[in-house]
Amino acid sequence: MTRLIDAYDVALFDLDGVIYLGPRAVAGAVEGVAGLRASGVRACFVTNNAARPAQTVADHLVSLGLPATVEDLVTSAQAAVGLMRRELPAGARVLVAGTQNLVDHMLEAGFQVVDTAADEPDAVVQGYDPQMTWPRLDEAAYSVQNGARWYACNTDSTRPTERGLVPGAGVAVYAVQVTTRATPIVTGKPFRPLLEEALRRTAARNPLFVGDRLDTDIAGANTVGIDSVLVFTGVHGKHDLVAAEPALRPTHIAADIPALLRPARVARADADGFRCGAAHVTAPGGVARIDGDLATLDAQLDALWALAHLVWAGGVVDYETALGDLNAVH
């Protein structure tokens, strides 16, 4: 039996919504990663969240039963400081609109951290900070308006937690952007710096990115030209997948991480539509229709994959009723 993961040597995992939701592990994540490692696949955890030090994140993973060290992690804060070292002069003044972790990265890189626009920073770097205040955003906005080079660790608009979605770093970035009408240099997904750093560190030959967001994880994988899998454990679901533009479309879909140890879904076109597993999806008169047994989650994911390919191929006017039949998929 050929498994989805058998084509890859490194699995790059997003964290929020894929490995954990707040303090809790996503169902099957710990066992799934263990199974991949037992198969000889390296696991690397790639996160847009710049709030916590890599060691703290590694400790969190260990507490969930998933062995990890800082060498297994790549963060957007690390990507940001790497890029800033290349683009800014030594000892440049940097205003940090982020957590102490981001401050520490700047200090370790030899930058001078300042607190206000009056300190005439050469650059502003912004990252997720749950304790962010309006006065700190004011200073970032003043600095950008005064000509400081502006970096953002990520622009995720939301962040999944065990209780639901909350505003992400992108909300604070947007506040500065709409104020200044400037555009930041973004280091996290879907932009190249973070993923290129992960690929460099792992020396991956055939990497696979595993994520729950189309706009960051899947788009980022497509940006650097690697395969991806969308898992349905976090932010984006069936409606997002079917409506996705080409740049946001994954190579694979899976219910969760353990599904990577099973065969990949393959959607094939026929004279009437697309087939995947036992599911056949057609669109007579432009209205999508699913034929096949939909009693299990796997069967519904087969149908969803066939439906997505049919919609992406064009000619489908109405697919909402068909999606409604897939009630086991969020």
Q: Which residues are catalytic?
A: 14, 16
Contact status, residue 27 vs residue 232, Cβ threshold 8 Å: no
Q: How far is the C-alpha of 324 from the C-alpha of 321, rounded, in Å?
A: 5
Tell me how far apart the alpha carbons of residues 295 and 129 are, in angstroms, rounded to a whole number. Answer: 43
Residues 130, 202: Cα–Cα separation, whole Å: 30
Contacts of 147 (CB under 8 A, 6+ apart): none
Please give the structure tokens belonging to residue 190. Answer: 């879907």
Q: Which has the closest alpha carbon to 217: 34, 55, 15, 8?
A: 15
Query: What is the DSSP-derived secondary structure letter of residue 205?
Result: S
Q: Provide CB contacts within 8 A for 159, sequence distance 6+.
A: 16, 49, 128, 165, 166, 167, 168, 169
Which DSSP letter does residue 26 get? P
Provide CB contacts within 8 A for 249, sequence distance 6+.
214, 218, 222, 241, 308, 312
Cα 227 to Cα 75: distance, rounded to the nearest angstrom: 20
Residue partners of 104: CB distance under 8 A and separation at least 6: 53
Closest CA to 188 of 47, 68, 43, 307: 47
User: In Å, how far are 8, 11, 243, 268 from 247, measured between CA atoms?
Assistant: 21, 20, 12, 21
| Residue 230: exposure state from Cβ atoms within 10 A (0-12, 13-18, ≥19) | buried
